[in-house]
Amino acid sequence: MEPVPAIKPPTEIEEVATGSNASKFACKHDIAMLRTVNLLEPWAAAHGAVMSTWDAIAESLADASDFGLKNKKGPALKTRFEIIMNRFKKSEFQSLRKSGTVEEYEEREQLLTDIKARMDDHTANGTVRKDAEKKKQEDLLMRRLNMAPLAPPRAEMTADSDASASSSVTAEAASESSEGPAATGEASTPSPKRLKKTIAKDDDITGLMTAIQSDISERRSRDEASSKQAQAELQLQRDRLDHDSTLARTLAEQNAQTQQIIMALLQQLADASSKRAQEELQLQRERLDHDRAVVRTLAEQNAQNQQIIMALLQQLADK
């Protein structure tokens, strides 16, 4: 026989709500909260709007007739939700079953199962969207680099290069004025120094593009490996969730069967007790009837004895 696991004592937030001024969570309060959480989806809220969503959940529950807890704000509801969700993920079902009926336990666990599946799907879809957007940006960058001209933009030139180019142009203009029209064709041909500088800058741009492409390829490889690992972990979590759901249903069915057996035994005991009581009552009735018959017989005998005595006394008196 397997040992029964020890049940941890309930913390303050898990205590049972009782009385008109109750402020502690019970199973029925969790169900009302989880229904509202499933409706408003705080896990899908935009960045910076999560607590606003929990405040909206608190306002909705404050007006709900099936909730009933007083002064429960958004942070308290968020804390309670995280507690029961974390324990649900760890399959700590017994620690959640402090107060409530079997039907309430089953409904709460079903709500937790649905919410966890929706949270996992949202996380997976968010990862896919981020990966797609990142790949889109990288492809756009690659197209821009491939379409960029080989010559560097004028804005990227340093002050020294601008000064050098200015002095070269001035020298060439002076040369043209001294040499006359015959030198016009030679002035349009770039100098070897300038051509060498242009080739060097083109090589720098080519090297930069190669380095960027290599870095993007490495990042893509790492992202694909990370995405595969995330998908594997997500599948593992889904398998575990399916296992936990099956286990929860099995435990609920076993609990229901046990309760049915107990109720049947109690009914049998009640029937047996009722039958025994009826038998005892019948026996007492029969004993009472027997006692009454004996009393009547004794009374008749007593009357006969009195008649005999009276007759004897009459005979003695006549003599």
On whether residue 35 sits in a domain, the answer given is yes
Mean pLDDT by 10 residues, the chain (319 residues): 44 41 77 93 90 93 86 92 90 70 88 92 83 78 66 45 47 46 48 66 72 81 81 84 83 86 89 87 92 92 92 88
Can you tell me the distance from the alpha carbon of 118 to that of 110, in angstroms, rounded to the nearest whole number?
A: 12
- Asked if 26 and 72 touch (Cβ cutoff 8 Å), the reply is no
pLDDT of amino acid 187: 46
Who contacts 28 (Cβ-Cβ below 8 Å, separation ≥6)?
A: 66, 100, 104
pLDDT of amino acid 37: 94
| Structural domain harbouring 100 | 27-144
On whether residue 260 sits in a domain, the answer given is no
277: buried, middle or exposed (CB in 10 Å: 19+, 13-18, 0-12)? exposed
pLDDT of amino acid 301: 92
On whether residue 287 sits in a domain, the answer given is no
pLDDT of amino acid 36: 94
On whether residue 163 sits in a domain, the answer given is no
Who contacts 91 (Cβ-Cβ below 8 Å, separation ≥6)?
A: 244, 247
292: buried, middle or exposed (CB in 10 Å: 19+, 13-18, 0-12)? exposed
On whether residue 61 sits in a domain, the answer given is yes
Can you tell me the distance from the alpha carbon of 30 to that of 105, in angstroms, rounded to the nearest whole number?
A: 10
pLDDT of amino acid 112: 92
- Asked if 58 and 65 touch (Cβ cutoff 8 Å), the reply is no
pLDDT of amino acid 189: 58
On whether residue 187 sits in a domain, the answer given is no
On whether residue 207 sits in a domain, the answer given is no
pLDDT of amino acid 166: 46
Domain count, the chain: 1
pLDDT of amino acid 271: 87
On whether residue 158 sits in a domain, the answer given is no
Can you tell me the distance from the alpha carbon of 24 to that of 72, in angstroms, rounded to the nearest whole number?
A: 10
Q: Which of 108, 114, 94 lies closest to 255 in space, CA to CA?
A: 94
pLDDT one-digit tens code per residue, 120-141: 998 888 777 787 778 787 777 7
